Structure formats: C-alpha cells, structure tokens
C-alpha cells in the first residue's frame, strides 16, 4: 500500500499468507538493477512462494514448453530455527510485520516479530541489487529474542528454482571454495553457463557447510542471549555466459569477496549515490495531489529499475524482470510506451533499447522469410527474445472451459511492430540529433522495415492504391482485418521515414549510404517506397461524423455495450477475442486503436477529429490491456477533456502500485509488473498535462494542468542538452543547464523563444 506520509515509500504492516497475495506482493515490492530482478519475497521463502531472481537477456526452452527467461538460484536465502522450530511467516505466529520498498534507492526491508511458544523473535533484513556492480546483490540480516534460546541459522543458496515452463538449469553442481558457496550449471537448451556465488559475514561464529535438498548452505549454531541483536551480512553474485571474458566462477567469487571487503554500508553508499543521480535526472514533482505523486513516482521507479545495463544491448520485457511471465519477451510496448520516457529523460538508456533492435535485425529478416510467401525485409517478432526470432506461438491462449490452446494470429498478423520500431529509431535521431545510431545499423533497420511493408502490401489496380490486408491492429479482439487505420498509418509513415533517411544520408553521409545500399541491395527499391508512400491507403475521417473506421467493415459489427459483452462470458478468465470470443462479432474493442494512432501522430490530426473519435471509441473500449488507458488519457488532454484525462492517467499510474491487474487470460498466468503502463503514466503527465512535444527543430509546451495540481516540475533532454521545467497555474519556467552545448528553440504557450545555456525563461499563459 502507498505510504501517505512518505511519497518515496510503499509499505504494508500486514502479512497475508494467501498465495495470490504473496504473488502480487512479490511484484509490488520487487527490486531490480537492469541485470536481474529480485521479487519482493521474504528471506525464508522459496519456490512455492514464487521467489524469483530473473536474469535479463538469457532464455531457455524445455521440450515443447514455451521458451522463457532463466531464473537464477536464490543466493539471498536465510532461515532461522529457534529451539528446533523453523521460523517462517507461513508457519509461525506473527505478532507484528512490516515490509517496505524505498524507491529512492530500490531497497527492500522487512521487520517481523514472531511468537514461538513463550518467546518472541525479531527478524529484520534489508536488501538491494547493486547499480554499481550489476551482478551483485547485498543483504543485511539481524535477529534477536526476548529470552535465551538456541538458534540455528541456515543461509546460502537455494536452487529449488521457480520455473513456469520446465527446469531450465541442468548439470547443477554445488560446492564451496574457501569461504564462498558456489552453484554452477548450464541451461537446458543452449548450454549457457549460469553460476552463483554467496559469501556471508557473521563475525566470530563458526559455520558448518551443508548441501541438502537443492540447498547449498552454511549453518551457524548460537546460544542466543535475551535482548541481544545478532547481525550477518550476505553478498551474492549471479553471472551468465557473456558477462565477462574470463572464468565466470572466478568473476563471481571476486565480486562477493570485494563486496565483503567494502562492507554492506560501503556498497550501499555507492549504490545510493547512483540512484540519487537517476532521480535528479528523472523525477517528476506534482504539488497538490499526493495520490498522483506517489503513483507516478512508483511508475518512474519501475522503469528505472529495468533500464538495461550499459553495453548490454538488452531491452525491456513486457513484464520487466518480475518473473518469467510473457516469456520475458520484448513487445511493441517498449518502443511505443517505454522508449518516450527514456529518450526525453535518460537517452543513454533509449539508445540501448534501440541497439537491441539492431542486434536482432537478422531475426526479423528470418521471420519475414518464414511467415509468408514473398515477404522480405524486417518483420520484427511480436514476442522477441535474445536472437530476435519470434517466441510467440500460433496457439497461445488457453480456453478455461476445455484447457485447450486457442489459435490466435498475434505472431503472423501483428505487422505494425516493424513500423513501431522504425518510428522509434527515427524519433531518437530527431530528438537527440545523434546520428551515430543510424550509422551503426539504425538506418538499415528502417530501410528493411520499409522493404517488409512493400512486400506485404497489396496493390489494387482498380483503386490505384496500396492496401494492408489481413492484419491485427492494437485491438486484438478483432483478428485478420483489412486496412486497420493504425497499421496502415504506421506503414505509410515508415515509407516516409525511409525516404528521409536516404535523403539525410545523401547530404551528410554519402559514402555510408552507398555502402548500405550495396550491402542490402535496396537502391532499386527506393522508388517503390516513394510510390507506396504516395499511394498507400489510410482510412480517413467520415466527412459528417469525423470518425475514422478502425478497419474495413468495422461499422457492420454488432452495436453492443462493453457491459453486455462481459455478461455473455461464462468463465471469469475467458478471453474475449480469438476465433470465437464474445467480443469478436461486436464493436467492443480490447484497447486504444484509432485513439492510439491519433496520439502517436497527434500533429497530423486536428482537434475536432481527435475529439470525435475519442467520444466514439471510448464507450466501446473494454481496456483489456494495460496499454489502453494512457492513450485515452493523452488524447483526452489534447482535446480538453481534462477530467477524463486525469481518470485514465490514474488508471494507468496506479495499476502496479495497487496490484489489481488480471492474473490470468484464459489459462495463461499473466501476473507481473507492467512497465508499459508505467511509461504511459509518465507520458500522460508530461505530454498530456504538461503539454510537451518536440520535433527536430524545437520543444513545444502548452500546459493544461489538472485542477487539483498546483505545480508540475520535471526535467527534459533535447538535442543532448538538459532543461528543468516548472509549470504552475499561471506560468511556465524553463531553466537551461549551464553546461548545455547550444541555444535551443522552445515554443511556450504559443510564444517562440530561444533558451541559451544557463538561461531561465519565464512565460505567463
């Protein structure tokens, strides 16, 4: 629950032992550092309580099961026994319990008072995953009793691993080297090495080494004195293939030994300093609305904890690093909903996300060749893992009535994914002015995406136009539709961007252009892109209603309310789409589709068109996706529906902090965090209420603060320069960092300005 007295913490003073509550709290209190995520579970918990240390960028497949990310063994495991009785929140009476997530520095703390017989036992622990050394986790653990007692402490590595789809680590070996406990293994499919090292500092106490039941433990026996506090510190390190050019075991041992030498407080100090810099760069301050402040700050925190490690070329999965859910795959969510936050506040992470797409270009090429006759170029995976090959299966949603998997067309018909990536690639260049990414492979990605759309498009001679047929738009309740407005617009803009890239390279990098055109043999196709850009059909607003038909024949579907459609379901986990879903024959849609288009291309549509479509599609949208609410918030703000914008802003911002999301779709477990919704919350605040947008030339700010908000303050990065923005009810103040490279153009409340390095501009509105 939010801590109303502290807008930097989330805490609870209750413990609910229901499995679903433990699962949701594991998401809510998770910590991460971009390399690995550690679910917010208690020290004594194990596989059955969904303890998970999910490692970024490594995946495995067992048999015919889904391929998913690898969970590492838990090097943070600790349990105590008092007079022979195990102390656990699941088995021992609890007198008092509190757990806290401090979002200033991504630390998790628990304090529990247990009662075992006539004795009270106090247990406290604090943990973090180092930002400074991403392979490292650190824990401080203490306990005391109110009466003398015989205490046994067992701490070390628990390799009873929670896996959703098979046992991923095999050839497991547990050992001890000097004072360091070790675990070594390889993945089942590709034989990638994964190892864990653990080192405990419990001064003055002898230990016994025990390997049993998939635990590699050190055991301490203590005649504990009443009222005396006993404290130990633990460091664990997780390493996987590719993390270091040297021996992984040696690297893991070195990491924990160095951490022990620095001490828990020493490691935490460095970690805290790095987190302080992150918040100075990325925080958003809302004055006058504590609920919105904490929800937004928690959303920003969720994005920061999964920012990929520099140089990793990793991206952010749809469920972040909260577990193996959604196969740990990267979706369009990243480019459309998370990337904007990073490119405007933390561009060094934005570039990492796009490098992932460059790295996986060959996977996108392979998919284009295998998904249809004559497809060419880059057809990016709907569910992308480390190679870029599609992890999405053709049958992937379970029917809760029969248990059978339903045929869906997410993998083979969600063609907008390639354009989403091309748009983000070009957006990075426009907003940063940095063309190095284009030279490193970004331009190649864009041209290959355009090539794919040309191969996918169908030319109708009688209408003299190209069409995009047989697709799924963002609204996944309606599959295999023709001329989805969002998809066609994305494809058209991709052709436009491809032509802009060629023209830019002709002027700035002619030699690089020549090499690129020769490398992928595409020079003769550029005129085809020009023709497709001119002739590709995009559904237009009706002259009378101004509504854009979502796809061909959408208007012929049944007119029925969202509530009525839900009444037609028989099972609470029933999926409303796929072949026979109850929403399929109706106009009820899963999520923002036309509205998503109007937001993505907001400068290309007038306010009256956006308003008419918002009012038409809003009552027909079921919001079956966490991606939907923010698009409705953004367009609502654009058209002056500020109360509606606030409603949908809160819906997306509170999704993870309230932990009230869907857990199952059909028979498929979907529990986990929602970084796309977190990114959507930031966009709704900054682009929506702050009225911020930018292009190659300038930053525009036209505020429309929610009535309850007294002030909105945030930082922006533009053209590799940084600016602090403060908006209140009467004025906008922009402060340029004194180290900025140049003057930058701003349009504030429709006034054109230039902001020099170190300058402050103030505009009343």
In this prediction, residues 112-128 reach a mean pLDDT of: 97
State the Cα–Cα distance between residues 408 and 204, nearest whole angstrom. 61
Q: Residue 203: pLDDT band by 50, 70, 90 thresholds? A: confident
Both structure tokens of 126: 């604090």
Q: Longest C-alpha distance within the chain, in Å?
A: 91
Q: Residue 361 to residues 385, 469, 582, 632, 721: CA-CA distances in angstroms?
A: 12, 24, 37, 32, 30
Say what the pLDDT of residue 401 is.
Answer: 77
Q: List, in order, residues 6 or more apart from 82 with CB less than 8 Å away.
A: 116, 119, 121, 145, 149, 150, 151
- DSSP 3-state of 136: strand
Q: Name which of 425, 428, 423, 443 is nearest 517 in CA terms.
A: 443
For residue 192, the number of C-alpha atoms closer than 13 Å in the C-beta half-sphere is: 20
In this predicted structure, what is the pLDDT of residue 602?
96
The pLDDT of 660-689, averaged and rounded, is: 85
The answer for 437, left when phi > 0, alpha when psi is -120 to 50, beta otherwise, is alpha
Cα dihedral value 255, 258, 259, 265, nearest 10: -160
Q: Do residues 721 and 735 make contact, with C-beta atoms less than 8 angstroms apart?
A: no
Nearest CA to 218 out of 173, 180, 262 is that of 180
Beta strands 405-407 and 458-460: pairing type? unpaired
The pLDDT tens digits of the residues spanning 217-271 come to: 999 999 999 999 999 999 999 999 999 999 999 999 999 999 999 999 999 999 9
Residue 666 binned pLDDT confidence (cut-offs 50, 70, 90) = low
Task: Compute how many other C-beta atoms are within 10 angstroms of the C-beta atom of residue 381.
Answer: 24
Q: Which residues contact 400 (CB under 8 A, 6 or more apart)?
A: 571, 573, 574, 664, 666, 667
**Inter-residue contact 726 to 740 (CB < 8 Å):** no
CA R_g for the chain:
27
What percent of the chain is predicted at pLDDT more than 90?
93
The residues, any chain, with a CB within 8 Å of residue 413's CB and separated by 6 or more, are 470, 471, 472, 479, 480
Of residues 20 and 308, more confidently modeled: 308
- pLDDT class for 43, splitting at 50, 70, 90? very high
Is the predicted pLDDT of residue 2 greater than 90, yes or no? no
Task: Indicate which residue of 386, 427, 444, 476 is catalytic.
Answer: 476
The pLDDT of residue 6 is: 87
Q: Across residues 288-311, what is the average pLDDT?
A: 97
Given pLDDT bands bounded at 50, 70 and 90, which one contains residue 1? Answer: low
Tell me if residue 89 falls in helix, strand or coil. Answer: coil
- The set of residues, in sequence order, having a beta carbon less than 8 Å from that of 366 and lying 6+ positions away, is 388, 389
Return left, alpha or beta for 263; rule: phi > 0 is left, psi -120 to 50 is alpha, else beta: left
Tens digit of each residue's pLDDT (9 = 90 or more) over 282-295:
999 999 999 999 99
CB 702 within 8 A of CB 750: yes
DSSP annotation of 404: P
Q: What pLDDT sits at residue 573?
A: 82
Helices (H), 570-624: 594-600, 607-617
Confidence check: pLDDT of 572 > 90: no
Phi-psi region of 264 (alpha: psi -120 to 50; beta: other; left: phi over 0): alpha
Q: In this structure, how many other beta carbons lie within 10 angstroms of the beta carbon of residue 662?
A: 12
CA dist 545 and 612 (Å) reads 7
pLDDT interval class at 272 (50, 70, 90)? very high
- The sign one gets for the Cα dihedral 79, 81, 85, 91 is negative
Q: Do the beta carbons of residue 32 and residue 305 sit within 8 Å?
A: yes
CA distance 227 to 31: 31
User: What span, in angstroms and rounded, lies between the C-alpha atoms of 3 and 296?
Assistant: 14
The pLDDT-based confidence of 528 (bands split at 50, 70, 90) is: very high
Residue 33 has a pLDDT of 98
Q: What is the rounded CA–CA span in Å between residue 49 and residue 162?
A: 9
Q: What is the pLDDT of residues 451-465, one digit of tens each?
A: 999 999 999 999 999
**Which pLDDT score is estimated for 405?**
85
Q: Which residues pair with 110 in a beta bridge?
A: 99, 125
What pLDDT, on a 0 to 100 scale, did the predictor assign at position 406? 87
Residue whose token pair is 């930031």: 682
Q: Report the alpha-carbon distance of residue 238 to residue 75 in Å, rounded.
A: 8
The closest of 98, 87, 203, 201 to 145, measured between CA atoms, is 87
> Quick one: DSSP state of residue 536?
B
Q: How confident is the model at residue 397 (pLDDT cuts 50, 70, 90)?
A: confident
Q: Name the percent of the chain lying above pLDDT 70.
A: 98
pLDDT at 3 over 60: no
518 catalytically annotated: no
Query: Dihedral (C-alpha) 307, 311, 312, 316: value to the nearest 10 degrees?
Result: 30
- Under the banding of pLDDT at 50, 70 and 90, the label for residue 665 is low
Per-residue pLDDT band for 571 (boundaries 50, 70, 90) equals confident
Q: Helices (H) and strands (E) in the chain — how many of each?
A: 22, 33
Give the pLDDT confidence score for residue 598 in this predicted structure: 98
Per-residue pLDDT reduced to its tens digit, 458-512: 999 999 999 999 999 999 999 999 999 999 999 999 999 999 999 999 999 999 9
- Determine the average pLDDT of the residues in 544-557: 98
Asked whether 106 and 301 are in contact (CB, 8 A), the reply is yes
Give CA–CA dist 34/25, Å, rounded.
20
Name residue, tokens 């020493």: 266
- The pLDDT tens digits for 617-664 are 999 999 999 999 999 999 999 999 999 999 999 999 999 998 877 776
Rounded to 5°, angle at Cα 665 from 662 and 669: 80
As a three-state string, the secondary structure of 306-360 is: CCCCCCCCCCCCCCCCCCCHHHHCECCHHHHHHHHHHHHHCHHHHHHHHHHHHHC
Whole-number Cα distances in Å, 209 to 43, 46, 77: 19, 20, 15
Q: According to the model, what pLDDT value does residue 4 have?
A: 53
């Amino acid at each position: 629950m939010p801590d109303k007295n502290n807008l930097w913490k989330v805490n609870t003073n209750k413990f609910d032992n229901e499995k679903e509550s433990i699962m949701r709290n594991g998401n809510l209190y998770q910590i991460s550092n971009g390399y690995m995520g550690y679910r917010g579970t208690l020290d004594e918990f194990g596989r059955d309580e969904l303890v998970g240390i999910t490692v970024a960028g490594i995946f495995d497949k067992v048999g015919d099961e889904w391929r998913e990310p690898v969970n590492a063994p838990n090097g943070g495991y600790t349990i105590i026994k008092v007079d022979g009785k195990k102390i656990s929140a699941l088995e021992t009476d609890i007198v008092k319990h509190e757990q806290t997530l401090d979002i200033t520095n991504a630390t998790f703390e628990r304090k529990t008072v247990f009662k075992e017989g006539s004795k009270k036992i106090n247990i406290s622990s604090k943990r973090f995953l180092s930002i400074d050394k991403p392979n490292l986790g650190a824990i401080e653990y203490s306990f005391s009793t109110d009466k003398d007692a015989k205490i046994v402490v067992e701490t070390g590595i628990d390799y009873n691993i929670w896996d959703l789809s098979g046992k991923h680590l095999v050839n497991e070996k547990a050992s001890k080297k000097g004072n360091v406990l070790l675990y070594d293994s390889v993945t089942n499919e590709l034989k990638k090495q994964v190892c864990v090292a653990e080192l405990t500092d419990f001064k003055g106490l002898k230990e016994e080494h025990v390997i049993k039941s998939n635990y590699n433990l050190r055991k301490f026996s203590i005649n504990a004195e009443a009222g005396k506090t006993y404290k130990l510190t633990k460091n664990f390190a997780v390493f996987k293939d590719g993390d270091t050019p040297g021996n992984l075991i040696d690297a893991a041992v070195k990491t924990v030994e160095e951490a022990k030498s620095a001490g828990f407080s020493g490691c935490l100090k460095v970690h805290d300093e790095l987190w302080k810099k992150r918040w100075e760069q990325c925080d958003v301050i809302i004055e006058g609305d504590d609920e919105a402040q904490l929800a937004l700050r928690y959303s920003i925190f969720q994005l920061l904890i999964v920012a990929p490690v520099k140089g990793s070329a990793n991206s952010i999965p749809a469920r972040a690093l909260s577990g193996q859910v959604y196969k740990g795959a990267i979706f369009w969510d990243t480019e459309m909903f998370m990337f904007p936050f990073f490119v405007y506040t933390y561009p060094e992470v934005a570039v990492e996300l796009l490098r992932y797409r460059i790295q996986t270009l060959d996977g996108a090429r392979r998919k284009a060749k295998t998904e249809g006759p004559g497809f060419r170029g880059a057809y990016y995976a709907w569910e992308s893992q480390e190679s870029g090959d599609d992890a999405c299966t053709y049958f992937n949603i379970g029917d809760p009535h029969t248990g059978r998997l339903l045929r869906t067309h997410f993998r083979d018909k969600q063609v907008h994914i390639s354009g989403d990536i091309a748009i983000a690639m070009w957006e990075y260049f426009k907003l940063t002015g940095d063309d190095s990414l284009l030279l490193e492979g970004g331009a190649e990605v864009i041209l290959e995406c355009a090539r794919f759309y040309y191969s996918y498009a169908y030319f109708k001679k009688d209408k003299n136009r190209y069409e995009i047929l047989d697709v799924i738009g963002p609204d996944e309740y309606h599959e295999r539709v023709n001329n989805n407005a969002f998809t066609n617009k994305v494809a058209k803009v991709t052709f436009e961007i491809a032509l802009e890239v060629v023209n830019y390279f002709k002027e700035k990098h002619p030699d690089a252009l020549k090499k690129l055109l020769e490398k992928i043999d595409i020079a003769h196709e550029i005129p085809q892109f020009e023709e497709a850009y001119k002739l590709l059909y995009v559904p237009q607003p009706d002259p009378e209603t101004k509504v854009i038909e979502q796809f061909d024949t959408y208007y012929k579907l049944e007119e029925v309310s969202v509530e009525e459609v839900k009444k037609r379901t028989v099972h609470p986990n029933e999926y409303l789409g796929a072949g026979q879903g109850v929403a399929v024959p109706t106009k009820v849609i899963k999520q923002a589709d036309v509205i998503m288009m109007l937001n993505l291309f907001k400068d290309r549509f007038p306010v009256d068109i956006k308003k008419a479509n918002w009012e038409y599609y809003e009552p027909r949208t079921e919001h079956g996706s966490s991606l939907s609410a923010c698009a409705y918030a953004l367009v609502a703000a654009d058209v002056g529906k500020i109360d509606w914008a606030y409603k949908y802003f809160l819906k997306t911002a509170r999704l993870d902090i309230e932990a009230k999301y869907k857990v199952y779709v059909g028979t498929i477990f979907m529990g986990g965090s929602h970084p796309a919704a977190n990114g959507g919350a930031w966009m709704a605040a900054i682009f929506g209420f702050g009225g911020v947008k930018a292009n190659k030339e300038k930053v525009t700010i036209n505020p429309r603060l929610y009535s309850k908000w007294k002030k909105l303050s945030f930082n922006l990065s533009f053209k590799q320069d940084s600016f602090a923005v403060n908006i209140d009810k009467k004025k906008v103040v922009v402060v340029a960092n004194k180290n900025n490279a140049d003057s930058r153009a701003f349009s504030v409340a429709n006034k054109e300005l230039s902001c020099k390095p170190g300058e402050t501009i103030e505009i009343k509105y």
